[in-house]
Structure 1
Amino acid sequence: MTTQEIVQKLWNLCNVLRDDGITFHQYVTELTYILFLKMMKETEQESQIPEGYRWDDLVEKKGTELKNFYRKLLVDLGQEGRGSVKLIYANAYTNIEEPKNLEKIIRSIDGLDWYSAREEGLGALYEGLLEKNASEKKSGAGQYFTPRPLINVMVRLIDPKPGEKCNDPAAGTFGFMIAADRHVRKKTDDYFDLKPVEAEFQRKQAFTGCELVQDAHRLALMNAMLHGIEGEIILGDTLSTKGKELRDYDVVLTNPPFGTKKGGERPTRDDLTFPSSNKQLNFLQHIYRSLHNKGGARAAVVLPDNVLFQDGDGQKVRADLMDKCGLHTILRLPTGIFYAQGVKTNVLFFIRGTTDRGNTKEVWFYDLRTNMPSLGKRNPLTEEHFAGFEKAYLAEDRSKVEDERWSCLTREQIRAKGDNLDQGLIADEKYSSYDNLPDPIESAEEAIAKLEQATALLYEVVKELKEAEEGQA
């Protein structure tokens, strides 16, 4: 049985819990609590779990006794467990009300082909489950998950090396750091080419992260554990004072959350030069500040289009980035590759300078968005889609690359455009002829309809506010 088949079997168990009103996202969290115990047994690591709370103790119980024992297990492991066990079960609780549903899930997991799962790697199995969860729109988990082909390309081009400190300040399920670990392992014969002390550094210190959401944090912890990574994953907000401690990295790979801070407030950190209600601008400042300035520190970060063109704070942050770092490449990503549909995104690649001024000389753009086939669940993103970009990125002389999608602007040209980095898009074939232009009457009518809808909603809000005021009078 392949990993994919096992993942599908695990995912199908979600249907068992629908009667208990459990969502897709809650299901993966519930599954993590149970799978962890089974995987500790399969990997012979049960010594990390207190006696009496191990897999065989769970399997032997039935009915109401099982339900009560499971609830007690979650609380006790969160309070009495050691190391990662305690963190994974911190504040854990179950939404499963029906004992027979809990029993069916445990029996089904126990009956899976664990020999095949061990052969293919339990880490791969768990990552497959996280990817399945992210691809389900109803789960809402896509915000914590970056498509694996994109992660692999970013890691390959940033090329983390043995002995380097790598970090993801918006860790999600820890996908970037797991891919970075895999990249270094591949180049060092699974760390056997390294000295024992170097191999221990890779396992325990090389790959770290920070994640704000507790459920995502516990998924990240389990994902790291199953891949043999023991680096610290902090539960906390990078944009709070805690983030000031995250610094002196060789490599940062990340995809920060999209949007603004709730209520539009600014971050609680006092060390950002241009604090903004736009979270991505704050994350971008954190990232280039967290790289050391001894030479060679580098980052690749996924950011939405608004970071490239936003005025005010946005323009100041971009200018600061181009001063402190050599911003050398911007990849304009295709639409539809993230589970948050319609978001237009990019990858910025930059190297921290040894000084704080004048580090960007020119910026190369690669347009992987315009005139691309529609990507999504039926036509997923693959690493082959990036072949042209990788060839251009790695070219010894970038100016000799013959690819219409590849273009360059000097720092002076960008400055003349008001430091606007929303550049490098080629002509869209859809609008290359007059016949393909949208009908102006239809466009105007559509705009009017949207404005009328927005006006109606505003009237509703005003009406509700007036009624609330009258009720208080």
Structure 2
Amino acid sequence: MTNQEIIQKLWSLCDVLRDDGVTYHQYVTELTYILFLKMMKEKETEEVIPKEYRWDSLTTKHGMELYNHYRQLLLDIGQSKNKLLSQIYMNATTNIDEPKNLEKIIQSIDRLDWYSAREEGLGALYEGLLEKNANETKTGAGQYFTPRPLIDTIVELTDPEPGERCNDPAAGTFGFMIAADRHVRKKTDDYFSLSQKEAEFQVKEAFTGCELVKDVHRLGLMNAMLHELEGEIILGDTLSEAGKNLKNYDVVLTNPPFGTKKSGERPTRDDLTYTTTNKQLNFLQHIYRSLKPNGKARAAVVLPDNVLFEDNTGAKIRNDLMEKCNLHTILRLPTGIFYAQGVKTNVLFFTRGQTDKDNTKEVWVYDLRTNMESLGKTNPLRKDHFDDFIKAYKAVDRTKIKNERFNCFTREDIRKKNDSLDLGLIQDESLSIYENLPDPIESAEKTVCKLQEAASLLNEVIDELKETGISESGEDKND
């Protein structure tokens, strides 16, 4: 079986749980508890799990005995002294009510072709499950899942190097960091061209993150483990005190959550220069402040349109960004690539300067939104959608790129717009049907003139009627 066939088989097991009222997202969490035990057996690393709770303990029990054993397993492993085990099974409870359903899932997983799964990569298999979950838009799971083609493009252009410290302050399922790890592995013959110390750094320290939501944090830990990454993924809020220690990074790659803090709350950190209820603006401040001020540290962040044009505090934060960093590129993304239809997003690429003044001289904007084919579940985003943008981004001399989608704006141009970065969108062809319509002001003026002429004629008629002595009743006053 291929990984895709295994993923489809695992996903179809969710149908077994529908009568239990289990959602897709709950199913993926439940599957994580069970798959962890199976994958540790396949990886021959079961020694970290208490012997009485290893995979075979599940396959040899049935009915209520299995159900009670599984519930106790979740409780006891969650209290393990092993950090990874305790984090993945923290506060773990089962959403399965029927013992027969639990047994069917375990038996089905045990019968899968795990030799083929190991060959293709257990990490790739798990990522496939996460992507499947994200595509189930009714669950809202896609809110923390960035499309793989977009992640791969961002990683390629930011180009993480061996020895660099990379971070995602809104880690989700750790997709950005896993892609960054793959990128560096390709450069280093899967780390074999590095020294043992350098290779250990890549596995244990190079890729880190922070995630607020417990269940999502659990998925991120599992994803990292299956990709053989041991960097710390903090369970916490980057916009709280926990985020103050997230700093001095070489590369930051992230897609922060959209929206505002609940009840209009502001971040609890006291080290942000500007405070606002807009979470993305707060994350943006955190990101550029978390980069090393060495002229090389860089970031790419996915942000909604409102960050580009929000007034007052928004304008101050954008100005601060362009002072401290070289904001060299903005990619206007197409709509329909995230779970919520109509959400308009962008990627900001910037490099932290060596000083905190006057780092942005010009901003290049690439419009991948206007006049694009309709994207969505039936026509998903592909890597080749970014081919022309990648070519323009990497050009040694961007001024020689002949592409109407790629335009440059000087810092002075932006200042004149109150530091608005809502720039670079080309003419929408769908509006071309209105091109030949007359100028609305001119049309209104002509209409007013005609109405004035008509009113003048009516006044003349009234005057003539008065002169002839015709009364309002129609009677001749001379009679």
The TM-score with structure 2 as length reference comes to 0.90
Aligned match of 1:377: 377
2:170 maps to what in 1?
170
CA deviations on 1:159-212 (whole Å, 9 max, x unpaired) are 000000000000000000000000000010000000000000000000000000
- CA shift for structure 1 position 81: 4.7
In structure 2, C-alpha distance between the alignment counterparts of 1:280 and 1:77, rounded to whole Å: 36
* 2:54 alignment counterpart: 54
Aligned pairs for 1:186-265 (under 5 A) are 186-265=186-265
CA drift of 1:309 comes to 0.2
Distance 2:270 2:435 in 1: 54
Does the residue aligned with 1:409 lie in a helix, a strand or coil?
Answer: strand
Any conservation in 2 of the 1:24–1:138 contact (CA below 8 Å)? no
For residues 35 and 336 of structure 1, the distance between their equivalents in structure 2, rounded to whole angstroms, comes to 32
1:127 aligned residue? 127
- The amino acid that maps onto 2:239 is L
For 1:294 and 1:363, locate their aligned partners in 2 and report how far apart those are by CA, in whole Å: 20
Structure 1 residues 96 and 370: alpha-carbon distance in aligned structure 2, compared to 1, 3 A threshold: same
| Cα separation, 2, equivalents of 1:304 and 1:404 | 23
Offset from partner CA, 1:206-242 (integer Å, 9 cap, x none)? 0000000000000000000000100000000000000
Find the aligned partners of 1:80 and 1:169 in 2 and give their Cα distance. Answer: 27
Cα distance in 2, alignment partners of residues 37 and 275 from structure 1: 44
Question: CA 1:94–1:436 in structure 2 vs 1: closer, same or farther (change >3 Å)?
Answer: farther
1:266 aligns with 2:263: no
Q: In structure 2, what is the equivalent of residue 408 of structure 1?
A: 408
- Match in the other structure for 1:452: none
- 1:290 is matched with 290
In structure 1, distance between residues paired with 2:436 and 2:99 = 60
Q: Distance in 2 between matches of 1:142 and 1:407?
A: 31
Task: Report the CA distance between 1:433 and its aligned residue.
Answer: 2.6
The answer (yes or no) to whether the contact 1:430–1:436 under 8 Å persists in 2 is: no
Q: What are the within-5 Å matches in structure 2 for residues 100-115 of structure 1?
A: 100-115=100-115
- Listed one character per residue, the Cα deviations across residues 18-50 of structure 1 (whole Å, up to 9, x for unaligned) are 111111110000000000000000001101111
| Residue aligning to 2:12 | 12
Q: Which has the larger radius of gyration?
A: 2
Paired with 1:88 and 1:353, the residues of 2 have a C-alpha distance of 38
Match of 2:468 in 1: none
Which string of whole-angstrom CA distances, capped at 9 and with x for unpartnered residues, describes residues 365-418 of structure 1?
000000000001111100100000000000000011000100000001100111
Residue 436 of structure 1 deviates from its aligned partner by 10
- CA displacement at 1:271 relative to structure 2: 0.5
Question: What is the rounded CA distance, in whole Å, between the counterparts of 2:257 and 2:2 in structure 1?
Answer: 33
What are the superposed Cα offsets for residues 301-347 of structure 1, whole Å, 9 maximum, x if unpaired? 00000000000110000000000000000000000001122110000
Q: Measure the CA separation in 2 of the matches of 1:312 and 1:421.
A: 14
The offset of 1:138, in angstroms, is 2.0
Query: Where has structure 1 moved over 6 Å in runs of 4 or more?
Result: none
The aligned residue for residue 462 of structure 1 is none
For residues 427 and 295 of structure 2, the distance between their equivalents in structure 1, rounded to whole angstroms, comes to 38
Looking at structure 2, the residues matched to 362 and 186 of structure 1 have their Cα atoms a distance apart, in angstroms, of 33
Matched with 2:398 is 398
**Secondary structure at 2:303's aligned position in 1?**
strand
Q: Which residue in the other structure is 1:431 paired with? A: 431
State the Cα distance separating 1:85 from its structure 2 match. Answer: 1.1
In the TM superposition, what is the alpha-carbon distance from 1:144 to its structure 2 partner? Answer: 1.2
Deviations 1:426-469 (A, max 9, x none): 000000232899xx9xxxxxxxxxxxxxxxxxxxxxxxxxxxxx
Partner of 1:325: 325
Q: Which amino acid aligns with 1:179?
A: A
Distance 1:149 1:191 in 2: 24
Partner secondary structure for residue 407 of structure 1: strand
Match of 1:126, as an amino acid?
Y
CA–CA distance in 1 between the matches of 2:41 and 2:436? 61
Q: Which residue of structure 2 lines up, in the alignment, with residue 63 of structure 1?
A: 63
Q: Label 1:178 to 1:436 Cα distance change in 2 as closer, same or farther (>3 A).
A: farther
* Inter-partner Cα distance in structure 1 for 2:63 and 2:118: 30
Cα distance in 1, alignment partners of residues 313 and 62 from structure 2: 59
Percent identity, aligned pairs only? 75
Residue 31 in structure 1 maps to residue 31 in structure 2 = yes
Cα separation, 1, equivalents of 2:134 and 2:436: 35
Q: CA–CA distance in 1 between the matches of 2:7 and 2:313?
A: 44
Whichever residue aligns with residue 167 of structure 1, its letter is: N
Where in structure 2 are there 5+ consecutive unaligned residues? 441-479
CA distance, structure 1, for counterparts of residue 293 and residue 357 of structure 2: 12
Match of 1:450 in 2: none
1:74 maps to: 74
Number of the residue aligned with 1:446: none
CA contact (8 A) 1:50 1:81 kept: no
Which letter maps to 2:150? L
Match of 2:309 in 1: 309
Whole-angstrom distance in 2 between the partners of 1:402 and 1:131: 36
- CA–CA distance in 2 between the matches of 1:237 and 1:429? 43
Give the drift of 1:99.
Answer: 0.1
Q: Partners of 2:72 and 2:278 in 1: how far apart?
A: 42
Contact 1:160–1:184, Cα closer than 8 Å, also in 2:
yes
- Structure 1: gaps (5+ residues): 441-473
Report how far residue 246 of structure 1 moved. Answer: 0.2
Aligned-pair Cα RMSD in Å: 1.1
What residue number does 2:356 align with? 356
For residue 424 of structure 1, what is the amino acid of its counterpart?
Answer: G
- TM-score, length basis structure 1: 0.92
Count residues with an aligned counterpart. Answer: 438
Is the partner of 1:126 in helix, strand or coil? helix
Counterpart code for 2:147: P
Partner of 2:344: 344
Deviation digits for residues 88-143 of structure 1 (CA, Å, limit 9, x no counterpart): 00000001110000000000000001011000000000000000000011222101
Matched residue, 2:459: none
